[in-house]
Amino acid sequence: MNRTAVTKVQRALVAGSALLLLAGCHQDMWNQPKAKAQSKSDLIFADGSNTRGTIPGTVAFGEAKLDREFYTGLDKDNHLIKEFPVAVDEALLKRGQERFRIFCTPCHGEQGNGKGFIASRGFTQARPVGNYHTDRLRNMPVGHFFDVITNGYGTMYPYRARITPMDRWAIVAYIRVLQEAHYSDIGTIPASERTRLEGMKADPGQDSPPELPIGAPPDRMLNSPGGAVREVPLGRRAGPGQVVPSAPVPAGRGTVQPVQGGIER
């Protein structure tokens, strides 16, 4: 074998191995064979989901819910509990207020009167959204509110998957604050706070959205095939003393309305 030929072979090898380097460019560190939250799984489970629900009759590790009152709002005889199973302090109330504003105000409103900004847009169930200031709910034991948040009630869906038990108790505590505040006498409020409150304007945008006109067809008929046409002024959530009108609802029998973003309805 002469010298030149060897060099050619070597060159070919070097060039070949350089090409092999390209084969090293792959995506399996970017897309690793692991299950991430809510990602799709084609290999492991038939339904294509990585997440497993709890199997009935089993307890996930570290999630034994031994404190029945805390986790269900019921005592051992299945009666709604009347006392909070947690210490109620200012921190809990503040937390409750925050969580209430996230999860409850859409339907129940900031004041808990059942006139939330979503419910007012066309909830048409036979029974109106719960108003905490009725005698029935004012006399309900705290366990009732916890149970309703956990398991739902009427058309209200369960919130146990979205709100932790501690936060649920915080919300219940805040509901009690709303109930107390709704009927409290202005005279019981310290003078300094009273001046501050009197200086504040009423907030019609928040809790008193425009009422639906009498005889308005239910919202579910809006813009759907065979649905009725209606034009209702819809107010969106607004700051003190202000109702911001949103765009008029597109009306028509199954009309096609282009949506910004290039996708057609």
Partner 1 sequence: MANLFKPSANSAAKVSLLSLAGLPVVLFFTGSQISRSSANTGVENPLSQPIPFSHQHHAYELGIDCRYCHTGVERTGYAGLPQTETCMSCHSQIWTNSPLLEPVRKSYETGEPIKWALVNKVPEFVYFNHSIHVNRGVSCNNCHGPIQKMHITYKGRNLHMSWCLQCHSKPEEYLYSDEKNPDLTPRQQVFNFYLKLQTDPNGQQMGPQEQQLALGNEQRTTVKDLVARGNELLKQRGVKKAQLQDCAVCHH
Is residue 249 part of the contact set for partner 1 (CB under 8 A)?
A: no
For the CB of residue 3, give the shortest distance to partner 1 in the complex, in Å. Answer: 32
State how beta strands 235-236 and 244-245 pair. Answer: antiparallel
Tell me how far apart the alpha carbons of residues 146 and 164 are, in angstroms, rounded to a whole number: 11
Is residue 204 part of the contact set for partner 1 (CB under 8 A)?
A: no
Q: Tell me, residue by residue from 143 to 162, as one string, x for binding to partner 1 by CB under 8 A and - for no binding.
A: ------------xxxx--xx
Is residue 61 part of the contact set for partner 1 (CB under 8 A)?
A: no
Structure tokens at 9: 């072979």
**Identity (one letter) of the amino acid at 97?**
Q
Question: CA-CA distances (angstroms) from residue 122 to 91, 145, 218, 250?
Answer: 35, 24, 6, 15
Instruction: For residue 177, give the nearest of 128, 134, 138 by alpha carbon.
Output: 138
Instruction: For residue 154, give the nearest of 118, 191, 127 by alpha carbon.
Output: 127
Our CB check for partner 1 shows the closer of 36 and 76 to be 36
From 242, 248, 252, 255, residue interacting with partner 1 (rule: CB under 8 A): 242
Tell me how far apart the alpha carbons of residues 258 and 255 are, in angstroms, rounded to a whole number: 10
Is residue 54 part of the contact set for partner 1 (CB under 8 A)?
A: no
**Identity (one letter) of the amino acid at 137?**
L
Q: Tell me, residue by residue from 207 to 226, as one string, x for binding to partner 1 by CB under 8 A and - for no binding.
A: ------------xxxxxxx-
Instruction: For the chain, count helices (H), then strands (E).
Output: 9, 2
From 68, 133, 182, 237, residue interacting with partner 1 (rule: CB under 8 A): 237
Is residue 32 part of the contact set for partner 1 (CB under 8 A)?
A: yes
Our CB check for partner 1 shows the closer of 81 and 117 to be 117
For the CB of residue 210, give the shortest distance to partner 1 in the complex, in Å. Answer: 15
Cβ neighbors of 249 (< 8 A, separation 6 or more) are: 222, 223, 230, 231, 232, 234
Is residue 184 part of the contact set for partner 1 (CB under 8 A)?
A: no
- Max intra-chain CA distance, the chain: 111
- Burial of 53 by CB count in 10 Å (0-12 exposed, 13-18 middle, 19+ buried)? exposed
CB under 8 A: which stretch of 18-26, 30-38, 57-65, 189-197 binds partner 1?
30-38
From 7, 10, 125, 134, residue interacting with partner 1 (rule: CB under 8 A): 125
From 36, 76, 127, 201, residue interacting with partner 1 (rule: CB under 8 A): 36
From 26, 40, 76, 201, residue interacting with partner 1 (rule: CB under 8 A): 40
Tell me how far apart the alpha carbons of residues 132 and 175 are, in angstroms, rounded to a whole number: 7
Is residue 117 part of the contact set for partner 1 (CB under 8 A)?
A: yes
Q: Which helix (H) or strand (E) holds 235?
A: strand 235-236
Binding-site ranges for partner 1 (CB under 8 A): 29-32, 34, 36-38, 40, 47-49, 98, 101-103, 106, 117-118, 121-125, 155-158, 161-163, 219-225, 227, 236-239, 242, 244, 246, 259-263, 265
